[in-house]
Each structure stands twice: as structure tokens, then as C-alpha cells.
Amino acid sequence: MTPVVEVEHLEKRYGSFVAVEDVSFTVDAGEIFGILGPNGSGKTTTVECLQGLRRADGGRLSVLGHDPRREAERLRRRIGSQLQESALPERLKVSEALSFFSSLSPSGTDWETVMEQWGLAEKRSATFASLSGGQQQRLFVALALVNEPELVFLDEMTTGLDPASRRVAWDLIRRIRDGGATVILVTHFMDEAENLCDRIAVIDDKRVVAVDTPTGLIDTYAPDAVVAFSTDETDLTFLERLDEVDAVERSGRHVSVTGSGALLAMVAAELVGHGLAPTDLRVERADLEDVFLQLTTREQ
Amino acid sequence: MGTLARLSWLELKLFLREPLTVVFSLALPLIILFVLGGVFGNEPSRPGEQLVYRGVGAMDYYVPAYLSLVVASVCVMSIPTHLAGNRERGVLKRFHASSVGALAVAGAEVVVAFVLSTVSAVLLLVAAALVYDFDRPDSVLGVIGGFVFVTVGFAAFGILLGSVLPTARAAQAVGMVIWFVMLFLGGAGPPPEVLTGAMQTMLDLTPLWHAVKVMQDVWLGLDPGLSWLVFAGIAVVSATLGVYFFRWE
């Protein structure tokens, strides 16, 4: 299968300022692909080059088979974009915005359905300026979808949403993908990337430092797990002899065992073998946040 | 309907939702009409007196001049502020990402400018006709043609200002300054004959003076000199520079 997006050694400068130095990745059809990175790392510039909104200075780009530098116009009709910094005229009504943007696509799409899906139906006559931050954000996502795009760019789309709306937005993003579109999601929320994305490119300091599935990233960059339990048993040296275990720490009754691999299974088997069966045995795995910190703060 | 038509319609609706701007655009020329009409009456200068108003009555002079003035107020004050504001706030970027072309954006400004100028001009003519006695136009078709010419040219000038100026505030300030300079030194305020020295030079430099002479040519048959050509030049240069400086963000 041909990838939907191919980026090789993307480079973007503004005068002497380098915004993106070396970014490469591919996105397959039907994926939710995350771009994760600290502020100013070049995430937004990267996707704006892919959307044909900015002109890449170097590298090879292919988006839905188009080169965004030469065929931006044709490309933009096939993609949907929710931009990080944009606005609508203050007195434009929700229904007017949706119907106008929908009319731009030759097929003339069903914007009323999109409006309902994104919970904007009761706000249809409200002006843009009167919407809350979350409602404006949902309107922008809805606008990105009214042309029935094959590829959707969502740049920090849940910024400004409350936790409940974020969960709703996640479901809707999965629905976009289930509808057959590919999604590129720029975010700085770890839980969002971990929950939603099939694969993630981590960008740091204008370069891609890792591309993998969320689990793959955790296995590679933060393989340590911590198994915790409580016990009155004082001699736990039998645990330290396990290959999987790096360290055993205790504070009062509380024990944390750090290690990697099949840590939980081995620790549990060993405890049971010694006649111990703590009821609060649990594993605390590293999450994407640990990966992120590991990958993006190494030089600091 | 094409994108241009839809965007123009949207922009017109948006404009009407700004009551202050509507009142300001429509009322300002009327206020100026009645103030200057009240001050100067409509008697042509007599032989032996200093020649003012190019030899015609004040109102005969002002009515066609004001047609250019209303176009100027829409194009120099409204368009640049609107365009720069839309760029500053990210509206243009939003349009760009959804394949709204630059020509549609600029075209919609021209259409809106034309509709507003026309409404404003009709209002002005009706008000003037009710109160003052002034010469009827030599050729109505000529007046319409001249008006379209002046509107398109000034709209190009307004789009250039909106493209060059970075923010709505800057555009509003610069637009105001240009408009007031044109009002006083562009032939639509004090009669051009009383302007001396540097003011006379300014007169020839303001786009409004040439637009005024175009309208007075089609309305009164007064000699336009090179004004058609000069104004067309201003329009072409503005449009060219406008295209060059146009930015989505």
C-alpha cells in the first residue's frame, strides 16, 4: 500500500532561523498518526509545509500523491485542516461558516450532519465571537471535515477543551478514521497521543527523534516497570536474585520493585512460591510522558 | 454561485451586522454635504472675482466630487481595516487552508466596496436633490461608467493598503489620515483654487483629486486633463503592488 504521506528530510528556514531541520516519516492510509514535541520544536511548521501553507526549503514531500510545493491548490481540496492559529469573522454565524466552507468543495457536502456530530446544532445561529473556546475549537474541526477530506490535519485540536469535551473529541477523531480518512494529529498532550494514535513521531529541536507505536516507544525508551505491593515479610532478597529485577526498595510495609521484561509475572510467581500473596500487587508501567521526557530533555 | 459570489454575499451580510460602521460610512458624506452646502451655497463666481469651483456653482461642483468622496471613504477606511484585520486574526489563513483564492478575497472586497459606495452615493444624491438645486448630469450612462471606474480604482488602492499594513489598527489609522488629507487637499473639501504652494502639489498627488475630475468630467463636462489616465495608472500600480504584497498571514 502506498503511504498517504511521505516526508524525507524536510527542511524549513526563515532567513537564518531554522524552523525545521530534518524531519522524515511516512503515514499509512487509515492511521491516526501523532506528531508530538515540545513547544517550538517545529511540529506546526512541519504540518503547514505538508498542507501547502508554507513552502518547504528542502527535502522530498508527497501528500496523497501531490507535491505540496507544486500542487498546493489541488491538494488542499482533498485535505481538511484545523489550524492552530486561525479565526473567523466575529459576526459570522456557525451555520454560515459551515455552509460556506462546505460550498467550496465541488461535491457540496452535508454540513448539517457534521454540525450535529460536533454538537454545534444548537449554536447554529450563534456568531463566532459568542462561542466559547471549546465551541470555537469544535467548529474549526467541523470546518476541517465539511469537504469530506481523505486526510485530516488536526493541530492542537483539544487545547481549550475541558476534560469531558476532550474525551468526546477523541471519540469523534476515531470516528473520522473509521469513516475512512487518515488523521495527522499534532499534540502536546501525552494521554491524547497514547490513547488515540496508532503511531507517533516525536520531534525535538526541529528533528524527528523517534517514530513508533506508543507501546513500541515505551518499550524502547522507558522499558522500566515498577511492581508495588505491601507485606510484613522482612527478607525479600529472593526477589533481588531475579534477572528481571534491578532494584527493590521498601518504606515501611510498602515495597517497590523496579525492573524490566516480564517483571510482574516473575515477581508474582516468586512471592507465591514463598507463601506471600499480597492483595494490592500491581504494576506501574512507564507511560508516554516518561518516553517524552527521556527523548526531549537529554541535552538539558 | 462561485466562491467570489458567495464570499461577497457573506462579506456584505457581515458588514451589515456592524451597525456603527454602516452608520458612519453612510452618514459621514451626508454631514459633509450639508455642512459645506450650508456654508458655500451654489452661486458660481462672478467675473472679476477669484475663480473658485472651476467656474461652476458650489453644489454643481460638490455633488459629483462627493460621489468620488463616498467611494474613497469606503475604499480607504473600510477595506484596509477589514483586510488587515482578517489577516491579523487568522481569518485569511483559514480561507487559504480551505482553497479560497486570493482573487476571491480581493474580488469580494471590490464587490462590497461597489455595493456600499453605490448605496452611499444614491443616498447622497437623493439628499442633495431634496435640498439643493444643482446641475443634472450630462450623461447618466457616463456617470455610471465613471463611478464604476473610480470604484474599481479606489478598491485596488484600498486592497494595497490592506495588504501592506500589518494590523487593523495600523490600517485604520493610516486610512483615516489618508482620507482626511484627501478630504482637505483632494478637491472635495475647500475648492482647489484656494489651495496654494505645497497644498497645490498635494492636490495633484492625491488620488481623490483625479477621481473628482473624472466624475466632474462625466457630470459637468469639465476638462479632466490627464486625470482618467492618472487615475487608471494609480489603479494599475495599486493592483500590481497589492498582488505583490498580499499575504495570507
Specify whether the CB–CB gap between B67 and B121 falls below 8 A.
yes
User: Is A56 at the interface with chain B, CB within 8 A?
Assistant: no
Read off the pLDDT of each residue in A86-91 and give the average, rounded to a whole number: 92
pLDDT > 90 fraction of chain B, expressed in percent and rounded: 59
Fill in the DSSP letter of residue B77.
Answer: I
pLDDT above 70 covers a percentage of chain A that reads 98
Q: The C-alpha cell of A143 is what?
A: 470546518
Which CATH number does the domain housing residue A247 bear?
3.30.70.980
User: Tens of pLDDT along A222-255?
Assistant: 878 889 999 988 888 899 889 889 889 888 899 9
Same-domain pairing of A181 and A229:
no
Q: Is A57 exposed, middle or buried (0-12, 13-18, 19+ CB in 10 A)?
A: middle
Note whether A203 and A244 are same-domain residues: no
Using DSSP, how many helices (H) and how many strands (E) does chain A show? 11, 13
B161 min Cα distance to partner chain A (Å): 20
One domain for residues A149 and A173: yes
- Total tally of structural domains belonging to chain B: 1
**Residues A254, A207 share a domain:** no
For residues A26 and A132, membership in a common domain is answered with: yes
For position B233, what pLDDT does the model report?
96
- What is the largest distance, in Å, between two alpha-carbon atoms of chain A? 74
Instruction: Give the confidence band of A208 by pLDDT, cuts at 50, 70, 90.
Output: very high
β-pair partners for A185 = A34, A154
Preferred mutation among A83, A94, A128, A148 to probe B, highest tally of B CBs within 10 A: A83
Q: Of A83, A87, A104, which is closest to B99 when you measure between CB atoms?
A: A104
User: Tens of pLDDT along A95-124?
Assistant: 999 999 998 887 767 899 999 988 899 999
Q: Are residues A18 and A127 in the same domain?
A: yes
CA-closest candidate to residue A239, choices A224, A256, A253: A256
Which residue does chain B place closest to A50, by CA atoms? Answer: B97
The total number of structural domains in chain A stands at: 2
Domain final residue, candidates A179, A194, A212: A212
Residue at A162: amino acid letter: D
Asked if B90 and A73 come within 8 Å (Cβ–Cβ), the reply is no
Domain coverage including residue A95: 5-212
Question: Is there a single domain that holds both residue A61 and residue A193?
Answer: yes
Instruction: Find out whether A200 and A172 touch, Cβ atoms under 8 Å.
Output: no
Is the same domain home to A117 and A202?
yes
Contact at CB, A104 and B3, closer than 8 angstroms: yes
Specify whether A167 is located in the same domain as A45: yes
Q: What is the pTM assigned to this prediction?
A: 0.84
pLDDT at residue number A57: 93
Q: In chain A, which residues have their Cβ closer than 8 Å to the Cβ of B108? A: none
Per DSSP, chain B holds a count of helices (H) and strands (E) of 11, 0
B18 or B150, which is more confident: B150
Q: Are residues B142 and B218 in contact, defined by beta-carbon separation less than 8 angstroms?
A: yes
The pLDDT value recorded for residue A196 is 93
Separation between Cα atoms, residue A272 and residue A17, nearest integer Å: 60
Phi and psi of A222, rounded to 5°? Answer: -140, 65
- Quick check: B17 and A100 CB within 8 A? no
Share of chain B above pLDDT 70, in %: 97
Residue of higher predicted confidence among B16 and A297 = B16
Q: Can you tell me the distance from the alpha carbon of A272 to that of A278, in angstroms, rounded to the nearest whole number?
A: 9
Does the structure show a pLDDT above 50 at B60? yes
| Mean confidence (pLDDT) of chain B | 89
**Interface touch B3/A85, C-beta < 8 Å:** no
Interchain CB contact of A102 with B (< 8 Å): no
CA A144, CA A173: separation in Å to the nearest integer? 12
Closest in B7, B90, B99 to A85, CB measured: B90
Domain that holds residue B66: 3-245
Boundary (domain end) residue, out of A166, A185, A212: A212
pLDDT band at A128 (very low <50, low <70, confident <90, very high): very high
Which residues on chain B are in Cβ contact (under 8 Å) with A147?
98
Residues A69 and A182 in one domain: yes
Is B27 at the interface with chain A, CB within 8 A? no
Give the three-class secondary structure for A185.
strand
Last residue of a domain, one of A183, A212, A241: A212
Same domain, residue pair A150 and A233: no
Cβ of residue B7 closer than 8 Å to a chain A Cβ: yes
Whether the CB-CB separation of A82 and A141 falls below 8 Å is answered with yes
Please name the residue of chain B whose CA is at the shortest distance from the CA of residue A72: B99
Same domain, A156 and A271: no
Q: Which of A209-213, A217-221, B211-215 has the lowest mean pLDDT?
A: A217-221
What confidence tens digit (pLDDT) does each residue in A258-299 have?
888 888 899 999 999 999 989 999 888 778 888 888 788 755
Q: For A166-202, what is each residue's pLDDT tens digit? A: 888 898 899 889 989 999 999 988 889 989 999 999 9
A81 in contact with B, Cβ within 8 Å: yes
pLDDT tens for B156-206 read: 999 999 999 999 999 999 999 999 999 889 988 888 888 888 888 889 899
pLDDT per position as a tens digit, B140-152: 999 999 999 999 9
Report chain A residues whose CB lies below 8 A from the CB of B18: 91
B21 in reach of chain A (CB within 8 A): no
Residue A300 banded pLDDT, cuts 50, 70, 90: very low
User: For residue B1, what pLDDT band results from cuts at 50, 70 and 90?
Assistant: low
Q: CA–CA distance from A248 to each of A180, A227, A229, A270 (Å)?
A: 48, 9, 11, 14
Domain of residue A47, CATH code: 3.40.50.300
3-state secondary structure of B35: helix
SS3 A23: strand
CB-nearest to B14 from A81, A92, A101 is: A92
